[in-house]
Amino acid sequence: MATTADFRNGMCLDIDGQFYFIVEFLHVKPGKGPAFVRTKLKNVQSGRVIDKTFNSGVKVDEVRIERRPYQYLYQDDMGYNFMNNETFEQISIQKSLINGVDFLKEGESVEVVTHAESETVLYADVATHVVLQITYTEPGLKGDTATNTLKPATVETGATVRVPLFIETGEKIKVDTRDGSYVERAK
């Protein structure tokens, strides 16, 4: 059990059977009345952010979570299969629990967040930026780089990314996995 005085960003709470991460919090002491804590909480399963106010000193259920590095192996009908880099144990994770799954290629390292007591997987995060090779894109016209126009390109994982006109098939690009946007050419 923790109290509102123990709140910190990234702390995981169990509220009505749902797990929430504290995105931000603020202790408020009005001139009149008791103090309270205003928080923004992100639901682990749905990703929805809610506002919740706690009276100061209220006890809350803190959930202990662990972050472990795993390596992506392959995909089958059970889901996406990963191997723990320390114990070599293999687990299967459903597609809906993996953030940035469209940009995941074999051998990539991901961070898997698990509930410490029950060992259930809460979610998995692919690296923020990944380097991928373009397998197909329409050829750009020479001298057509003055505008900020984008064209679709298919990368090696099968995902489609909007890239500038000067990018050609076979080039490597850096992609932001949070929103699937083009960042830059890879060096």
- Please name each of the domains of the chain with its CATH number: 2-62 (2.30.30.30), 67-126 (2.40.50.140), 129-185 (2.40.50.140)
Triad 46, 49, 52: Cα angle to 5°: 125
* pLDDT of res. 144: 60
| pLDDT tens sequence across 38-85 | 999 999 888 899 999 999 989 999 999 898 999 999 999 888 999 998
Question: Which is more confidently placed, 57 or 187?
Answer: 57
- DSSP letters, 141-167, are PTT--SS--EEEEEETTS-EEEEETT-
Cα atoms in the 13 Å half-sphere on the side-chain side of 169: 6
| pLDDT tens sequence across 8-41 | 998 999 998 889 999 999 999 998 889 999 999 9
Strands 98-99 and 121-126, bridge-based pairing = parallel
| pLDDT tens sequence across 133-165 | 999 998 876 666 666 788 899 999 899 999 988
Largest CA distance in the chain: 69
| Residue 110: band (very low, low, confident or very high) from pLDDT cuts 50, 70, 90 | very high
* pLDDT of res. 118: 85
| pLDDT tens sequence across 115-131 | 888 888 888 989 999 99
- CA 98 from chain centre, in angstroms, equals 7
Are the C-beta atoms of 137 and 167 separated by less than 8 Å? yes
Among 14, 1, 2, 8, residue whose Cα is nearest residue 120: 14
